[in-house]
Chains A and B, each alone.
Chain A
Amino acid sequence: MSNSKAQLGVYVHWPYCARICPYCDFNVYRTRDIDAGRWRAALIRDLEYWRARTGPRRLASLYFGGGTPSLASIEVVEGVIDACERLWGFENGPEITLEANPTDAARSRFQAFARAGVNRLSLGVQSFDDAALAFLGRDHDGAAARRAVEAALSSFPRASFDLIYALPDQTEDAWRAALRAALRTGVRHLSLYQLTIEPGTAFERAVARGRWRPPDDGLAAALYDIAQEETAAAGLAAYEISNHAAPGEESRHNLLYWRYQDYVGVGPGAHGRLRADGRRIAVEIRPHPEDYLAAVEREGCGAASVEALDAEAVLIERLSMGLRLAEGVILDAEDLAALGPRAARLDALAREGLVARDGARLAATAEGRRLLDALLARILA
């Protein structure tokens, strides 16, 4: 892939949340006194730095993730959008996404975000069931979630929401019913995540103490299969492990990641991938908010590390990301060279029905995607 054809996106990480969810292992911090002006200035300054490194290109996408970016002031969101327009300029019909919590407070600001230029909203609904939401430590209830979904669908040209499944005691029937209710909202994009127990989270400690147990992988697999069936029946087939969309409604920003395109990351803990002098570079931004602000103000850049990736690292990343997609990846000459004798493993995996090859295209089958982590280890390790 040459520079000219690669798409470019910008990810902005807003690290603050009103509360920390017990399952979340993202780079998040409890909201404190936030100096919006300082944040706006720092994020813009960081963007200027990266503009100098990417050179003149157009942006296909801008994404505000977090944390809870719907808690950020309009001033920050607007400032970043304007800066992106000024520094790079957007391609025709860019995607500008903001993640939001489905609280009434956030809902009251949807119009303002839309006016600032956000054209896609991603709502962290997680569930419409009050008991499940309480278990997940969320600060909204089912009714607020329904109101937020409705408002998002009417306020933005495109919207999506997340659901979490494989909660303890969740039955297959209950999950099927929840999915059907979600699809009846008319949403055109859904992210369906299995609840996983991550290191360092409150849930990890609870499970370690034996308070409750996540379902075994047999039930998790059944729930995953139900998600595939129900979304496909509603015309929102999976285009990625956990993402489902009507044709054309896929998240263009997230596709940049999975297709291993270029992206600039700003804000604490954000990551970037860029091409520079024919090499792939991986950027990691300082994770702690105060460190980040101080570094940008001092040095004009918030990066903690900028690392050139070798061919093997690029291969691992490309396959790890690309095989998540139903469409798979195109293996180019460089990939095949990096793969070396391991390419023979693909034939064996194809015979086992875990991958499918069509010319240069390699894709994991439905079965292969459900076991993707083990599959990647078999291809690459």
Chain B
Amino acid sequence: MRQPARHCRLARPPLYPAAMTPLKNIRNFSIIAHIDHGKSTLADRIIQLTGGLTDREMKEQVLDSMELERERGITIKANTVRLNYRAADGETYVLNLIDTPGHVDFTYEVSRSLSACEGALLVVDASQGVEAQTLANVYQAIDVDLEIVPVLNKIDLPAAEPERVKAQIEDVIGLDASDAIEISAKTGLGVDKVLEAIVRRLPPPEGDPNAPLKALLVDSWYDPYLGVVVLVRIVDGVLRKGARIRMLGAKASYTVDQVGVSTPKKTPVDALGPGEIGYLTASIKEVADTHVGDTITEERRPCGTPLPGFKPSQPVVFCGMFPVDAADFEDLREAMAKLRLNDASFHYEMETSAALGFGFRCGFLGLLHLEIIRERLEREFGLDIITTAPSVIYRVHLTDGSMKELHNPADMPDMVRVSHLEEPWIKATIMTPDDHLGAILKLCEERRGVQQELTYAGSRAMLVYELPLNEVVFDFYDRLKSVSKGYASFDYQLLDYREGDLVKMQILVNEEPVDALSIIVHRSKAESRGRAMCEKLKELIPRHMFKIPIQAAIGGRVIARETISALRKDVTAKCYGGDVTRKRKLLEKQKEGKKKMRQFGRVEIPQEAFIKALKMDR
């Protein structure tokens, strides 16, 4: 397994032998920005200007250290960097920058990062304006009473319209943007003003160094050299190396092995005082032993009331993951266990499918999260996996009055026992240039959306829709990007469960149901979905020596049907002395290819069919 670069060895002697900075000289902040609006570039500039890393150490976008995060320009884990800044007033300040994920799936991580700060920089692309994701994160920051400094980035671009974007920030978010700082993170223009604003406009933390220790567990991860590393924000008291600490929620005690700060290299310090952000290690065995949002205190002198904490993150999207080669099952299990070590929001449990054999039912925070896990399994662990269609959690109310949660359409009870089904609904916020509005409204209506709001700010529209999550999980985001030519942005939050006229649709290939292709679908959509899936499968399943009927059915009723005609002639015309080698190589290739096929009765279904059959091109 390749290790994220963040887990670097201790290289230098402590930079802060006697830590505990005075409160008035500490500033803790996050940067809120939409993907590509320049958050990472600005972070790089700030780190460079304050000398956090030498040029040699300076890597582009140090905060986004995981390979995938770098590629997609997103951040998943909370990373921090502690910087020393000598301000215009002659004082030296400690700036703690806490990075936040920028994607809809990781809203939860955003909220906990923000809880460790007193302020935030709101970075908006001066040509693009406010996006849905920015909006969601800013509201979160406002909810936890952060001071927000608007920053207009990419001011050097010819398309920049700072005045229009300032007006938008005021109209849409309701923030005073008259003091917005105009910068170009790329060229470095205005970044010094940002540093001054952090010191002058953001409040210092509050806290009592003499009170019992009270610290927020912000995040934790597994480091191969240090073991479990816990990111903490000290609220009151002092965290020292060697101290006995207690985690109030987890009800566990540990002796602190090491206390340190990230510069962004892990650098040990003797102690962390109120307002400071740093890490601790304490021979904690597993990441699962640490609860994000927990309160850490002293064992001998515990604090009175714990911090409010966070609700644990709950997976909302589920899918099956199966090894392409059944022999890889154990490897897949190990790989998942390793990923889970650093990602408590990723859930998995064993699943058996008649079509796909042994695998796992996995839970994710969202589709991007799913995609990241899938890619990591393939890239870092070299596994070939089949992913089944994403599903949400349905509530199945049975006629006996009981309710069960359904994570997998294949587990749907017999319909005679079912009284009704409920499905999760979300509140979706979409921001788009108004020329794509028509297409987006149509998309939302097609997905059973209920419009709540439609407002304009300049030439941009903000749409709020209530939508069933099951209409969103599969390809809504792709479709939204496609109908808006990439300009629309999207964010959502879970609302509630609502009763829906939902049915389980099965796909039968050659008269046999293929469990991995079953979906729960709204009755009004069943026929068109069924027809689309049958047509797609007809393209995806190669012709066989016999004809293959493909049917979509609800209960015993067939609602759509296609037929793959039988091969009539399939034989090499000329095969002599030299052709046998070619023929053999072809058969050897077919043997390899067969590993990527799933045998279903007499029919071989290519693994790609399991995911492609559910994509809707229309």
Contact = CB atoms under 8 A, between A and B. Distances in A.
B545 interface: yes
Contacts of B574: 193, 242
B327 interface: no
A376 interface: yes
Given A193-B574, A265-B578, A320 B568 contact: no
Contact of A269 (B572, B578, B587): B578
B568 A257 contact: no
Interface range on chain A (Cβ under 8 Å from partner): 35 or more
A374 B567 CA distance: 9
A270 to B, nearest CB: 7
Given A241-B575, A374-B545, A320 B567 contact: no
A273 B584 contact: no
Contacts of A270: 577-578
Interface string B579-591: 0110110011011
A321 B594 contact: no
Interface string B275-304: 000000000000000000000000000000
Interface in A220-265: 220-221, 224, 241-242, 254, 256-257, 263, 265
A370 B590 contact: no
B544 interface: yes
Given A270-B578, A354-B545, A194 B584 contact: no
Contacts of A282: 581
B571 interface: yes
Interface in B500-550: 544-546
Contact of A377 (B569, B573, B578, B590): B590
Interface string B3-29: 000000000000000000000000000
B577 A373 contact: no
B569 A273 contact: no
Nearest to B586: A373
B571 A370 contact: yes
A320 B571 contact: no
Interface range on chain B (Cβ under 8 Å from partner): 20 to 34
B570 interface: yes
A341 B150 CA distance: 70
A195 to B, nearest CB: 8
Given A316-B584, A354-B545, A375-B545, A217 B577 contact: no
A372 B571 contact: yes
A221 B575 contact: no
A284 B570 CA distance: 27
The residue in B546, B575, B591 that gathers the most chain A C-beta atoms within 10 A of its C-beta is B575
Nearest to A318: B580
Contacts of B594: 377, 381
A220 B568 contact: yes
Contacts of A380: 587, 590-591
Given A320-B583, A380-B587, A257 B571 contact: no
A210 interface: no
Given A320-B583, A381-B594, A373 B578 contact: no
A241 B587 contact: no
Interface string A315-342: 0110011001000000000000000000
A220 B580 contact: no
Nearest to A26: B578
Given A257-B580, A282-B581, A375-B545, A242 B587 contact: no
A51 to B, nearest CB: 18
Contact of B572 (A218, A373, A381): A373
B225 interface: no
Contacts of B567: 217, 371, 374
Contacts of B544: 374
Contact of B587 (A220, A221, A256, A316): A316
B580 A271 contact: yes
A369 B568 CA distance: 11
A272 B576 CA distance: 11
A94 to B, nearest CB: 17
Contacts of B583: 316-317, 320-321
B330 to A, nearest CB: 22
The residue in B569, B574, B578, B591 that gathers the most chain A C-beta atoms within 10 A of its C-beta is B569
B355 to A, nearest CB: 19
Nearest to B580: A317
Nearest to A220: B569
A11 interface: yes
B573 A193 contact: yes
Contacts of B587: 316, 320, 376-377, 380-381
A380 B576 CA distance: 20
Given A220-B569, A374-B567, A377-B590, A257 B576 contact: yes
A194 B576 contact: no
The residue in A195, A242, A254, A316 that gathers the most chain B C-beta atoms within 10 A of its C-beta is A316
Interface string B211-255: 000000000000000000000000000000000000000000000
27 contacts: A193-B573, A195-B573, A196-B572, A217-B567, A217-B569, A217-B570, A220-B568, A269-B578, A272-B577, A273-B580, A282-B581, A313-B588, A316-B583, A316-B584, A320-B587, A370-B569, A371-B545, A372-B572, A373-B571, A374-B544, A374-B570, A378-B545, A380-B590, A380-B591, A381-B590, A381-B591, A381-B593
Given A378-B545, A380-B590, A381-B593, 5 more contacts: A241-B575, A270-B577, A320-B575, A370-B570, A371-B571
